[in-house]
Amino acid sequence: MATIRYNPNGQKGRISYNADIVSGIVVLSLQETEGIELVPSKSRGIKVCFEKEGVFADISVIAHYGYNVPELAFSIQQTVKQMVESMTKFKIAKVDVHIQSVVFPSPVSQASEPSQEQESNK
């Protein structure tokens, strides 16, 4: 569990963030990124570590065919950094992105198209 002391108006108290909260914010940021899917696993392919330098995130995703992989990875890094830093007082030290695989679109069935022979018989 991570703890941050935040005192905007001189009030006493502290705010504690559980690692699951930060992981949830990472999931929200990934859902906003077009062209990827989360890895179907218990941890959803997300690992978050709190260190002295900041938060380290390790993210595994599946890319959709037709998207530029380096651009997807950079977009994920920027979105995760922006959302975690805006919703918490943590600073992101590093975001590692692993593209596990690429999902190809399913082939379109040609059986639904009428053939020219059927049209000429009418």
pLDDT of residue 18: 78
Please provide the average confidence, as pLDDT, over all residues in the chain. Answer: 83
Judged against a pLDDT cut of 80, whether residue 38 lies above it is answered with yes
Tell me the pLDDT tens digit for each residue of 44-96: 889 999 999 999 999 999 999 999 999 999 999 999 999 999 998 899 999 99
In the structure, what pLDDT confidence band is assigned to residue 116 with cuts at 50, 70 and 90?
low
pLDDT of residue 43: 74
Does the domain at 17-105 match CATH 3.30.70.1350? Answer given as: yes
| Beta carbons within 10 angstroms of residue 59's beta carbon | 25
The whole-angstrom separation of Cα 42 and Cα 65 is 24
pLDDT of residue 64: 95
Output 12 or 60, whichever has higher pLDDT.
Answer: 60
Judged against a pLDDT cut of 60, whether residue 4 lies above it is answered with no
Q: Identify the weakest region by mean pLDDT among 28-32, 34-38, 104-108.
A: 104-108
**Nearest of 67, 51, 56, 55 to residue 97 by alpha carbon:** 56
Domain boundaries, the chain: 17-105
Q: Find the largest Cα–Cα distance for the chain.
A: 86
- Triad 77, 80, 99: Cα angle to 5°: 50
